[in-house]
Amino acid sequence: MSGYHHVEYVMGMAVSIDVRDDAAENPERAQSLQDVVQWLHHVDQTFSTYIDDSPISRLGRGDVALDALDDEVRDILLLCEELRDDTNGAFDAFAVPAPNGTTLDPSGVVKGWSIERAAEILERHGHTNFTVNAGGDIAVRGRPRPDVPWQVGIRHPEEQDQLAMVIDVTGPLGVATSATYERGAHIIDPHSGQPTTELASVTIVGPDLTYADAYATAVFVMGIPGLDWLAKHPDYEGYAITHDAVTVSTPGFNRFRPPA
């Protein structure tokens, strides 16, 4: 018996937890899964903009002051502001209409941040080889088998059952993809208020999924030049697919391509 695998429906999506460590070496496995699942539901209850009485919805409506909420809400909003400055506003938690009717929506950073924390919880329980995949954003640790990297597929933007490519990833790394595959789902450019149009999908690989996720959103908004912007974060590499099926990547992304 090796590791365990679990799919948790939370935050309106499926979170796949794939632990490959030998179970015999991890007697705490039941506890580690329980802790991660509990954490994910806590994040959902706190930050969901689909839940009308979540702290973030109440804050967005002005029903509660920031000081009255848990520190983690302040931490997330400070992180959002840091990212807004860093991305010249391409990432902005205060600019895009949220499902709860407010324009306060830190969801773009909450997902990556919460999955990165989920990975830390698993590590604290002694796991070293696993992935946590939340709606396509993945915290990667270690390897699936000795001497083998994780094979991470990047979804084809138009064919949902096909891959645009497969990359080799050895943790610790985060892999995040931003895309709008279907009509109706949009990523809004905070500057114009309009859906962004140039890219079909953007994948970012880097040390912290929190930032990989946010940068994927930001580069998606910026378009291809966003990959130039990404150069200011040398640890993060990007791969974008246009609507014309042209792929554009940063030079450093090549190290994730499987050997020919």
Partner 1 sequence: MNLDDVHRLEELARRRSQNSKGPLPEPRVARTAPASQSAAPIDPKQAALAARLEQLAQRRSGSSAGAGASTANTSGSTAANRSKRRHPAQGARAAALGLSILSTGGLATLFAVSNPSTGNQLVGASIVSNGPSAVPAVAGGQAAAPVAPAATPQTAAPVAAPTAATPAAPVAPAPASAPDPASQPVNIAVPAPAPAETTVQGAVFQNKWGNVQVEVTFGADGSLIDISTLQTPYRDGRSVQINNYAVPRLNSETLTAQSAQVDTVSGATYTSNDYRRSLQSAIDTARAAGVTAVA
Positions in 50-79 near partner 1 (CB under 8 A): 59-62, 66-67, 71-72, 74-79
Per-residue x/- marks for partner 1, 114-143, CB under 8 A? -----------------x-x-xxxx-----
Q: How far is Cα 50 from Cα 71, in angstroms, rounded to an integer?
A: 21
Identify the three-state secondary structure at position 220.
helix
- 259 CB neighbour count, 10 Å cutoff: 4
Q: Which position among 23, 37, 51, 95 is part of the footprint of partner 1 (CB under 8 A)?
A: 95
Q: Which position among 18, 26, 48, 114 is part of the footprint of partner 1 (CB under 8 A)?
A: 18
Nearer to partner 1, 4 or 125 (CB): 4
Query: What's the closest the beta carbon of residue 210 comes to partner 1, in angstroms?
Result: 7
- Inter-residue contact 108 to 135 (CB < 8 Å): no
Query: What's the closest the beta carbon of residue 59 comes to partner 1, in angstroms?
Result: 8
160 binds partner 1 (CB under 8 A): yes
Q: Which position among 89, 123, 128, 170 is part of the footprint of partner 1 (CB under 8 A)?
A: 89
Q: Please list every residue from 221 through 260 that binds partner 1, using CB under 8 A.
A: 221-235, 240-251, 258
CA dihedral (168, 170, 176, 181) positive or negative: positive
Query: Count of residues binding partner 1 (CB under 8 A)?
Result: 119
Burial of 63 (0-12, 13-18, 19+ CB in 10 A): exposed
Identify the three-state secondary structure at position 9.
strand
Burial of 255 (0-12, 13-18, 19+ CB in 10 A): exposed
- 38 CB neighbour count, 10 Å cutoff: 11
Query: What's the closest the beta carbon of residue 174 comes to partner 1, in angstroms?
Result: 10
Nearer to partner 1, 26 or 213 (CB): 213
Q: How far is Cα 27 from Cα 64, in angstroms, rounded to an integer?
A: 43
Nearer to partner 1, 41 or 74 (CB): 74
Q: Please list every residue from 170 through 199 that binds partner 1, using CB under 8 A.
A: 175-182, 184-186, 188-198
Q: Which amino acid is at 226?
A: G
